[in-house]
Amino acid sequence: MSGQRKSLLSGGIAKQALKDSLMKLNPAVMMKNPVMFVVEVGTFVVLLMVLFPSYFHTGERIGFNLTVFLILLFTVLFANFAEALAEGRGKAQADTLKKSKKEMTANKIVGGEVKVVSSAELRKGDVVIVSQGEMIPGDGEVVEGLASVDESAITGESAPVIKEAGGDFSSVTGGTRVVSDQINVMINSDPGESFLDRMISLVEGAARQKTPNEIALNTLLTTLTLIFLIVVVTLAPIAKHFGISLDIPVLISLLVCLIPTTIGGLLSAIGIAGMDRVTQFNVLAMSGKAVEASGDINTIILDKTGTITFGNRMASQFIPVGGADYTETSYWAAVSSVKDETPEGRSVLELVKKQSMEVHPGAAAAGEFIEFRAETRMSGIDLADGRHVRKGAVDAVKRWVLAQGGSIPADLDVESDKIASEGGTPLAIAVDNRIYGLIHLKDTVKPGMKERFDQLRQMGIKTIMCTGDNPLTAATIAREAGVDDFIAESKPEDKIAVIRREQAEGKLVAMTGDGTNDAPALAQADVGLAMNSGTAAAKEAANMVDLDSDPTKIIEVVAIGKQLLMTRGALTTFSIANDVAKYFAIIPAMFMAAIPEMNVLNVMNLGSPLSAILSALIFNAVIIPLLIPLAMKGVAYKPISSSRLLSRNLLIFGLGGVIAPFIGIKLIDLAVHLWI
């Protein structure tokens, strides 16, 4: 899906954004952004002076005024363009989604008979039959049957998934296609409220509300705008007293340079782009607030199975018993597994390979594979030379060996108990009447998890692992994975209890879940990420849904949230820091005519007062489009401690924000001064 989206970006989005940025000039729309609204009003005032020079007695400055007007207009347009571009990416995605939301027919069951109706007529509680090749007409639960469903329209994942009645895989989404078999679906959403509808309005930005932090930041930006408005308005009468007349376009230029137009113009684009990054990541956030909250997370609760570990047991060690040597034990373990296609069997061969030992398939090639059966609880191979090799549950193998008149090595029970106490599963290996040793099977932590948890710890985020295992097993995995804490033998209520406990300490908690019994905890968590494969109840309770159903993504979501907040802070700092240089450009320029000594303050040695003002104004305008890529992509985020992160960003955006405009304005002035 992401590939599809990128190609869309290079296509019509930019063109559409250009058009939208003109549409957004409508004052009623601009009002929502007070900083840019002030710029627009200023633009309009200068425009009047250009159009009616005789009325305002501005005839002799018409060239300058026209230039100021154009720069101001572009400042507003640039800001609009940034917002339109961010919105455009969402819209393009919404369009593809809308295509899958075409009107379709549904086979509704009415009193035992099938009736063909339009999908728009379906209401909560209706039951429909969906057969192979048909679209599922609305969100619902499978109430009968089993089918594989292609959900690529929503998830972008082309491999079909199995949906069946009952259990955690019963929920289906409207707009997806049944590729095999037939299911009965009970619809659980009314038209306009389906998952697809919500998704469309989310990515379109129609349901976008300002997040709490955005509202607070907007208050600050509006305040700064008002302060500088006071500064500029009061400056005119004071200057007049000293015989310095300041033209209105000059005052407007000063005002526009001082108010935080950079962040004011990019603020909503940053927010939209942040949401969009989450969406591109195939996670659907129900609100911007949820993305913001994910940046604040202190604690992440993760399920062990499937998230931290692979969830299937893998051979990790061979333990010889009864005087057998290690090579022998691993040899027979390998032989027993040569034809074994189960994950356990394959993992035995992998372990042998890892220990760079030879496996002789020749010995087993001619043998006959004995499949695992519930009654025997063993599998193995009958070799061509008549020897029988078996591996399986320790007690089953013991019985098999005894039955053949063999004896049980004295250390077998000790070793197998040791494996069990470490949370592993022991498998015994026997050849005819002799037990050679044990295979230690254990749940394996996914590679890279430990490093990720270390990173999280540096970011100040604690990880808690939830597992149904006994405390011993849980402790082993927890130590191996490097999580900070774990809950063993956890029941769904335990998760809620942990979330409440952490929240009472003032922490924000994130968790993932998919089952119906996870729903209350998902709702209680500050950030709840539900798996798309999960039940409708889980998805309803969560404030984010992962379309790929990959629970480890919660870690990346936290990073995206942090990145969003950092980008906002970085550009605000940059914008405010820019004022220093702009002052040094404009203030001497304003007063130089009356007080030639003011040239001392002209530290950039700008060509002339007029070119100084225009250069500052041009810098102020062009910095917006120059920063659009940064606003869209976000500030690079590295998982390091907060103080290092802060020093780094302060250096780049704070100090950089002070220095960059000095250089930028000087360079622009070199060009502008050629004309005036």
Partner 1 sequence: MDILQICIVIFVLLLLVKPVGTYVYHIFSNEPNRTDRIFGGVERFLYRIIGLKQRGSMNWKKYALSMIATNIVLVAVSYILLRTMGALPGNPSGIGNMEASLSFNTVISFMTNTNLQHYSGESGMSYFGQMIVITMMMFTSAASGLAIAIAFMRGITRRGEGLGNFFEDFIKAHVRLFLPLAFIVTLLLVGLKVPQTLEPMRAVQTLGGGMQQIPLGPVASLESIKHLGTNGGGFFGVNSAHPFENPSPLTNVIEILSMWTISASLPYTFGRFARNKKQGWMISSVMMTLFVAFLCLTYFSEKAGNPLINQLGINSSGGSMEGKEVRFGIAQSALFTTVTTAATTGSVNNMHDTLTPLGGLAPLAEMMLNVVFGGKGVGFVNMIMYAILGVFICGLMVGRTPEFLGRKIEAREMKLIAVAILMHPFIILAPTAISFMTHLGTDAFSNPSYHSLSQSIYEFTSSAANNGSGFEGLADNTVFWNVSTGLVMLLGRYISIIALLAVAGSLAVKQKVAETPGTFRTDNKLFAGILTGTVLLIGALTFLPVLVLGPVAEFLTLN
Q: Which of residues 585-604 bind partner 1 (CB under 8 A)?
A: 587, 591, 595, 597-598, 600-601
Q: How far apart are CA 178 and CA 550, in angstroms?
A: 22
Nearer residue to partner 1 within complex by CB, 546 or 579? 579
Q: How far apart are CA 214 and CA 263, in angstroms?
A: 11
Q: How far apart are CA 468 and CA 443, in angstroms?
A: 13
* Residues paired with residue 115 on neighbouring β-strands, in sequence order: 108
* Residues paired with residue 161 on neighbouring β-strands, in sequence order: 149
Nearer residue to partner 1 within complex by CB, 235 or 475? 235
**Cβ 595 to partner 1, closest distance in Å?**
5
340 is in an annotated binding site: yes
377 is in an annotated binding site: yes
Residues numbered 145-184 forming contacts with partner 1, rule: CB under 8 A:
none
What tokens does 182 get?
């037939």
Q: Tell me if 70 contacts partner 1 by CB under 8 A.
A: no
**Cβ 221 to partner 1, closest distance in Å?**
10
Q: How far apart are CA 97 and CA 656, in angstroms?
A: 42
**Cβ 493 to partner 1, closest distance in Å?**
23
Q: Which residue is listed with tokens 């333990």?
A: 319
Residues numbered 294-313 forming contacts with partner 1, rule: CB under 8 A:
295-296, 298
**Cβ 507 to partner 1, closest distance in Å?**
5
Nearer residue to partner 1 within complex by CB, 14 or 227? 227
User: Near partner 1 by CB under 8 A, which window of 54-62, 293-301, 380-388, 609-617?
Assistant: 293-301
Q: How far apart are CA 612 and CA 672, in angstroms?
A: 9
Nearer residue to partner 1 within complex by CB, 309 or 572? 572
Q: Tell me if 141 contacts partner 1 by CB under 8 A.
A: no
Q: What is the DSSP letter of 124?
A: T
Residues numbered 490-519 forming contacts with partner 1, rule: CB under 8 A:
505-508
* Residues paired with residue 512 on neighbouring β-strands, in sequence order: 529
Residues numbered 551-580 forming contacts with partner 1, rule: CB under 8 A:
561-563, 565-566, 568-570, 572-573, 576-577, 579-580
What phi and psi, each to the nearest 5 degrees, are found at residue 594?
A: -85, -35
CA dihedral 502, 507, 508, 512 (to 10 degrees): -30
Q: How far apart are CA 402 and CA 370, in angstroms?
A: 19
Q: How far apart are CA 366 and CA 389, in angstroms?
A: 13
At residue 584, what is the residue type?
Answer: F
Q: Tell me if 654 contacts partner 1 by CB under 8 A.
A: yes
User: Near partner 1 by CB under 8 A, which window of 288-296, 367-375, 487-495, 608-616?
Assistant: 288-296
**Cβ 242 to partner 1, closest distance in Å?**
7
Give the count of residues interacting with partner 1 (CB under 8 A).
75
395 counts as catalytic = no
Nearer residue to partner 1 within complex by CB, 326 or 583? 583
Residues numbered 422-461 forming contacts with partner 1, rule: CB under 8 A:
457-461
What tokens does 114 get?
């099938």
Which position among 85, 122, 649, 662 is part of the footprint of partner 1 (CB under 8 A)?
649
372 is in an annotated binding site: yes
Nearer residue to partner 1 within complex by CB, 183 or 570? 570
Which position among 212, 472, 500, 593 is part of the footprint of partner 1 (CB under 8 A)?
212
Q: How far apart are CA 178 and CA 140, in angstroms?
A: 14
Residues numbered 16-45 forming contacts with partner 1, rule: CB under 8 A:
none
- Which uninterrupted H or E stretch holds 127? strand 127-130
Instruction: Give residue 42's region: left, alpha or beta (phi > 0; psi -120 to 50).
Output: alpha
Nearer residue to partner 1 within complex by CB, 356 or 643? 643
User: Near partner 1 by CB under 8 A, which window of 4-12, 215-223, 476-484, 544-552?
Assistant: 215-223
Report yes or no: 297 and 558 within 8 Å, Cβ to Cβ. Answer: yes
Nearer residue to partner 1 within complex by CB, 100 or 213? 213
3-state secondary structure of 373: coil
Q: How far apart are CA 207 and CA 592, in angstroms?
A: 51
Q: How far apart are CA 375 and CA 390, in angstroms?
A: 14
Name 641's Cβ contacts closer than 8 Å, sequence gap at least 6.
458, 459, 460
**Cβ 257 to partner 1, closest distance in Å?**
12
Nearer residue to partner 1 within complex by CB, 527 or 645? 645
3-state secondary structure of 47: helix
Catalytic residue among 126, 303, 469, 579: 303
Residues numbered 227-286 forming contacts with partner 1, rule: CB under 8 A:
227-228, 230-242, 244, 258
At residue 188, what is the residue type?
Answer: N
Nearer residue to partner 1 within complex by CB, 423 or 657? 657
Residues numbered 617-646 forming contacts with partner 1, rule: CB under 8 A:
637, 641-643, 645-646
Distance of CA 341 to the CA centre of its chain: 36
Q: Which residue is listed with tokens 């049957």?
A: 145
Pairing of strands 527-531, 544-546: parallel
Nearest by Cα to 201 from 280, 90, 100: 90
228 is in an annotated binding site: no
Nearer residue to partner 1 within complex by CB, 471 or 654? 654
**Cβ 297 to partner 1, closest distance in Å?**
9
At residue 582, what is the residue type?
Answer: K
**Cβ 465 to partner 1, closest distance in Å?**
18
User: Near partner 1 by CB under 8 A, which window of 6-14, 191-199, 210-218, 377-385?
Assistant: 210-218
**Cβ 454 to partner 1, closest distance in Å?**
12
Q: How far apart are CA 550 and CA 512, in angstroms?
A: 9
**Cβ 449 to partner 1, closest distance in Å?**
20
Rg for the chain, CA atoms, rounded: 34
Which position among 2, 131, 209, 223 is part of the footprint of partner 1 (CB under 8 A)?
223
Q: What is the DSSP letter of 61?
A: G
Q: Which residue is listed with tokens 């496996």?
A: 359
Is the C-alpha dihedral spanning 588, 591, 592, 596 positive or negative?
Answer: negative
**Cβ 572 to partner 1, closest distance in Å?**
5
373 is in an annotated binding site: yes
Quote the strand ranges of 157-298, DSSP E: 161-164, 171-172, 177-187, 283-285
CA angle, residues 188, 189, 193, in degrees to nearest 5: 160
Which position among 22, 99, 647, 670 is part of the footprint of partner 1 (CB under 8 A)?
647
Report yes or no: 606 and 60 within 8 Å, Cβ to Cβ. Answer: no
Annotated catalytic residues are 303
Q: Which residues are annotated as a binding site for ATP?
A: 340, 344, 372-379, 391
Q: Which residues are annotated as a binding site?
A: 340, 344, 372-379, 391, 514, 518
Q: Which residues are annotated as a binding site for Mg(2+)?
A: 514, 518
